[in-house]
Amino acid sequence: MARFELQWKITARQAGLLIREFLKDNHISKTALTDIKFAGGFIQVNSQEVNVRYVLKEGDVLQVGFPEEVPSEGMKGEDLPLDILYEDDYLLVVNKPAGVSSIPSREHPSGSLANRLIGYYQRIGLKSAAHIVTRLDRDTSGLVLIAKHRHVHHLFSEQQRSRKIHRMYEAFAEGSICPDAGTIEQPIARKKDSIIEREVSEEGQYACTHYQVISRHKEFTHVKLKLETGRTHQIRVHLAWFGFPLAGDELYGGSRRFIRRQALHCCSLSFEHPFLDKTLEFEQKLPEDMNCLL
């Protein structure tokens, strides 16, 4: 499991292509190709080393080995719980609890999802870095997609740009949202006097959030949300701007009377598997601290 490899058997339609052209058609980036050539990877045809100018023939077996990955400096593996819902040779889907950061920060240098991943990889003998495709805020719970290798992360980044990775969230917003369904399209930027907080601003990046009311309660509205874009704190900022901050989200005007963190949970995740030619779909029920409010 130390090295990530890909293999293709060349068809009549692919014959005549240079390896360089074939790899570009298969979404291997220039950066990845440079690493393959100069940082410990390999390119072989029929088990013989070749260069990217080799002309492929029908029936050739092309193998590409990527360099072993090393976690970033200071990223320590930790033997902490990791709730794995799905795993194959290319990816993981995990359920992240609230209170766990996606990556280490100055305020929370350990215990992050990335630390847990590196610890898990060390236990199973996988030499890779932590490639978290769909990050969640520290106090947001739910489904997270993780690529096991840099190239797989690159393929998922292409899916994100073409909006082929879909996530749904459940949230409790303070007040009674009306109408029952709608779309919030407001640009989001970092607040000038903060390194953390975001705000709706004409100078910001385009952001789009769709919402659907599930039920209304005395103090809050149970709502489902779908993102068209993935800006930092997008749901939190959009709902606060709309006049209905998330319960528990003190940073954006919510109250902690009922819950001690922002009441936001990634409940649904779907994406196209980059190698298995099928769509994978996952759902995760509300965690106990949100479910008990219902």
Active site residues: 137
Gap between the Cα atoms of 159 and 164, Å rounded: 5
- What's the CA gap between 199 and 103, in Å, rounded? 23
In this structure, the number of other CB atoms found within 10 A of the CB of residue 98 comes to 22
Q: Record the tokens describing residue 240, joined without a space.
A: 């606060």
- How far is the C-alpha of 69 from the C-alpha of 187, rounded, in Å? 37
Distance (Å) of CA 181 to CA 22, 73, 177: 46, 46, 9
Asked if residue 245 has a cis previous peptide bond (ω within 30° of 0), the answer is no
Give every CB contact of residue 26 below 8 A, 6+ residues apart in sequence.
6, 8
User: Scanning the structure block, which residue is given the tokens 């992360």?
Assistant: 153
Least Cα distance to 150 among 133, 167, 135 occurs for 133
Angle, CA 204 vertex, CA 202 and CA 209 arms, to 5°: 95
Pairing of strands 91-96, 141-147: antiparallel
